[in-house]
Amino acid sequence: MKKTVTLTNNINNLSYDFKILSSGIGPDAIDFQKLYAQTGMFAYDPGFTSTASCKSKITFIDGEKGKLLYRGYKIDDLAQKKSYLDVCFLFLEGVLPTDEQREEFDIELRRRSFVHEGIKNLFDAFPDKAHPMAMISSAVSALSTFYFEHLNINSEAEYKTMAKRIIAKIPTLAAFSHRRSFGLPLIYPDLNRSYTENFLYMIRAYPSQNLYIPDVEVKALDTIFTLHADHEQNASTSIVRGVASTGAHPYAAISAGIDALWGRAHGGANEAVMTQLELIGTIDNIDKFIKRAKDPGDNFRLMGFGHRVYKNFDPRAVILKNLLNELKDELDVDDNLLNIAQKIEDIALTDDYFISRKLYPNIDFYSGLILTALKIPRSMFTIIFVIGRSIGWITQWIELKHDKDMKIARPRQLYIGDTDKQI
Of positions 78, 170, 258, 303, contacts ligand ACO by CB under 6 A: 303
User: Given the rule CB under 6 A, which of 26-34, 194-202, 266-274, 331-339 is the region that contacts ligand ACO?
Assistant: 266-274
Q: Provide the edge-to-edge strand list for the sheet that holds 67-70.
A: 59-62, 67-70, 73-74
Q: Give, in degrees to the nearest 5, the angle at Cα 239 between 235 and 242.
A: 135
399 lies in the binding site for ligand ACO (CB under 6 A): no
Q: Whole-number minimum distance, CB 67 to ligand ACO, in Å?
A: 16
Q: How far is the CB of 191 from ligand ACO (least distance, A)?
A: 32
Considering only 68, 79, 163, 302, the residue that binds ligand ACO (CB under 6 A) is: 302
Cα–Cα nearest to 230, from 136, 316, 319: 316
DSSP code for 186:
P
Residues near 216 by beta carbon (within 8 Å), at least 6 away in sequence: 327, 330, 331
Strand-pairing partners, residue 20, are: 30
| Closest distance of CB 89 from ligand ACO, Å | 23
The Cα–Cα gap between 123 and 91 comes to 31
**Residue span binding ligand ACO (CB under 6 A) among the ranges 164-172, 252-260, 265-273, 398-406:** 265-273
Site for ligand ACO in 338-357 (CB under 6 A): 357
Binding region for ligand ACO (CB under 6 A) out of 2-10, 67-75, 214-222, 302-310:
302-310
Compute the least distance from the CB of residue 270 to ligand ACO, in Å.
Answer: 8
As beta bridge partners, residue 138 has: none
Residue (143 or 340) nearer to ligand ACO, CB: 340
Q: Which residue among 112, 116, 120, 308 contacts ligand ACO (CB under 6 A)?
A: 308
- Cα 316 to its chain centre, rounded Å, is 12
**Which of residues 14, 265, 283, 355 is near ligand ACO by CB under 6 A?**
265
For ligand ACO, the closer CB: 40 or 46: 46
3 state DSSP class of 314:
coil
Q: Is position 301 an interface residue for ligand ACO (rule: CB under 6 A)?
A: yes
Looking at the Cβ atoms of 266 and 401, the one nearer to ligand ACO is 266
Candidate residues 68, 140, 319, 363; the one interacting with ligand ACO per rule CB under 6 A: 363
Encoded one letter per residue, x for contact with ligand ACO by CB under 6 A and - for no contact, window 126-165 reads: ----------------------------------------
Partners of residue 195 on adjacent β-strands: none
Q: Is 66 in the site for ligand ACO (CB under 6 A)?
A: no
Q: 205: which residues sit within 8 A by CB, 6+ positions away?
A: 187, 211
Q: Assess contact for 304 and 362: CB atoms under 8 A.
A: yes
Strands, E assignment, 105-190:
none
Question: CA–CA separation, 81 vs 318, rounded Å?
Answer: 16
- For residue 240, the SS3 value is helix
Amino acid letter for position 261: L
- Residue 393 CB, nearest approach to ligand ACO (Å): 14
Smallest gap from residue 116 Cβ to ligand ACO (A) = 32
Q: Based on C-alpha coordinates, what's the Rg of the chain?
A: 23
With binding defined as CB under 6 A, does residue 361 bind ligand ACO?
no
Q: Is 269 in the site for ligand ACO (CB under 6 A)?
A: yes
Specify the residue, 262 or 305, whose C-beta has the smaller distance to ligand ACO.
Answer: 305
Check if the beta carbon of residue 188 is closer than 8 Å to that of residue 180. no
Sign for the CA dihedral angle at 145, 149, 153, 158 comes to negative
Crossing angle of helices 250-261 and 235-245, in 10° steps, is: 150
Check residue 68 for interaction with ligand ACO (CB under 6 A).
no
| Catalytic residue positions, numbered | 307, 364
**Which residues of this protein are in contact with ligand ACO, per CB under 6 A?**
265-267, 269, 293, 301-308, 357, 359, 362-364
